[in-house]
Amino acid sequence: MESQVEPYECLSATELLVRLQRSEVTAVELAESALQRIEALDDKVNAFRQIDRDMTLEMARAADERYRAWQTMGLLDGIPVAVKDAFDQIGWATRDGSRLTEDSPATTDAPTVAACRRHGFVPVGRTNMPEFGWKAVTDSPLTGITRNPWNLDKTPGGSSGGSAAAVAMGVTPLALAADSGGSTRIPASFCGVVGFKPTHGRAPMHPGSHFGKLSQPGPIARTVRDAALLLDVMTESDPSDPRLQPGPQSYRNGLNGDVRGLRIAYSPSLGLDVEVNPEVATAVEHVADKLEQLGARVVRTDPHVGQLRETYQRLFFTTAAQMIQGYDDSAREKLDPALREVAEHYASLSALKYLEADTARVELMHRMSFFHLDFDLILCPTVPVRPFDVGREVPEDWPDQRWTSWAPFTWPWNMTGQPAITVPCGFTEDGLPIGAQFIGARHSDTQVLCAAQAFQQVFPLTAKRPPLTKEGGI
């Protein structure tokens, strides 16, 4: 009896590369599979703003030619990759989810896209995001609402919601994302995939995000190993970003370690006054138990992040105000109304108040540096809430109107620049994904990846697929 071949969408990028090298599959077949899944599923999810079938297949055919000539280009040759619509990419317009941007093709690549191109990636399309990446759900005046593949009535999170949904749907095994307050980790958690924010300065960013010192590009993938693969590409040196810091030669090669002896601070709520959904709390506690069984020294304690939400908002929303300051009233009428509201409010913030917020950011960096003298990693929920209804900035009956109130476990690490990863750790009773977050000291990216990899190896959830894909018969 012949063994059944796994569908391409169930395989990791690492596995697909092996099959490409063995001529068991072609890059064109992978590209066609990705495009077919977009055609079958994306009218329901709306993960992609734009695809270019001809361009995608042209790049896939070029990859196949290289494989036939034994002249492959690097780590991603022939692998389909989705690109968040915040990264410049030659031949594609960068719209940032806004009607105020121009619909004209970029003539240069953002550094991370350029690195992927050097490694032979096959771009499948541009993924949706909220306007200028300003909130943690994905809807915009330009592209409308993006939905969660696990439940179409729920949000995939944001701002990289289109990228996370694309990976969850099995369109691509890898996607480019950017994170200014959780924009990679929140949607990865809500969509049941892996999202990693590296130490700030590890991946070049030009432009990639509008939120400066809070932002860092990162990978979204179905497995930690695939995230490390894309990270090896994304962190290549680029002269366009003078802040770029050297990292290890290979994050993938560093995944062979384990968590034995690691000191892990298990913090169910980071010491903050926030209600964590009971199903989320139980799932993350299970992660703590698993890590202890693997030999880690797990201590329940809080890192005393502090009540810094207004501090973060000053840093984040003042940048939003700066982004729209050049637009007149008629142009501002085209903006997401809530973005216009926060931007106009924070436009009046004094330079003194902004500098006070930046001082508080540096003080938090110092506190966390000393905390990590005693603990290698922090474990906490990625998000305290379940994925909630689409078309909303906050969950139903939530006491606050801004997204920062329900995402207090992600944006502190954008203030400190620490590496943080979300990895799937369970599902709610009605089948919605839950993510656990590992945070490390600055420059401990490999250690963070190792811990997430160790957990994923003993508790893999990658075989479970969203009901949408089964209903579609693909």
Block mean pLDDT (10 aa), the chain, length 474? 59 97 97 97 98 98 98 97 97 96 95 97 98 97 98 98 98 97 98 98 74 90 98 90 78 92 98 96 98 98 95 95 90 96 95 97 98 98 98 97 98 98 98 98 97 97 87 54
Q: What is the per-residue pLDDT for 474?
A: 58
Q: Given 98, 183, 209, 267, which residue is catalytic?
A: 183
**Which CB contacts under 8 angstroms, 24+ apart, belong to 455-458?**
455/259, 455/287, 455/290, 455/291, 455/294, 455/423, 455/425, 456/194, 456/223, 456/224, 456/423, 456/424, 458/290, 458/294
Domain boundaries, the chain: 8-471
Q: What is the per-residue pLDDT for 1?
A: 34
Residues contacting 398, CB < 8 A, separation 6+: 405, 406
3-state secondary structure string across the chain: CCCCCCCHHHCCHHHHHHHHHCCCCCHHHHHHHHHHHHHHHHHHHCCEEECCHHHHHHHHHHHHHHHHCCCCCCCCCCCEEEEECCCCEECEECCCCCCCCCCCEECCCCHHHHHHHHCCCEEEEEECCCHHHCCCCCEECCCEECCECCECCECCCCCCHHHHHHHHCCCCCEEEEEECCCCCHHHHHHHCCEEEECCCCCCCCCCCCCCHHHCEEEEEECCHHHHHHHHHHHCCCCCCCCCCCCCCCCCHHHHHCCCCCCEEEECCCCCCCCCCCHHHHHHHHHHHHHHHHCCCEEEECCCCCCCCHHHHHHHHHHHHHHHHCCCCHHHHCCCCHHHHHHHHHHCCCCHHHHHHHHHHHHHHHHHHHHHCCCCCEEEEECCCCCCCECCCCCCCCCCCCCHHHCCCCCCHHHHHCCCEEEEEEEECCCCCEEEEEEEECCCCHHHHHHHHHHHHHHCCCCCCCCHHHHHCCC
Enter the tokens of residue 119.
């490694």
CATH of domain 8-471: 3.90.1300.10
Active site residue 183: yes
Q: Given 84, 135, 154, 197, which residue is catalytic?
A: 84
Q: Given 33, 159, 163, 444, which residue is catalytic?
A: 159
Peptide bond into 433 cis (omega under 30): no
pTM of the model: 0.96
Q: What is the per-residue pLDDT for 131?
A: 97
Q: What is the per-residue pLDDT for 183?
A: 98
Q: What is the per-residue pLDDT for 208?
A: 46
Active site residue 159: yes
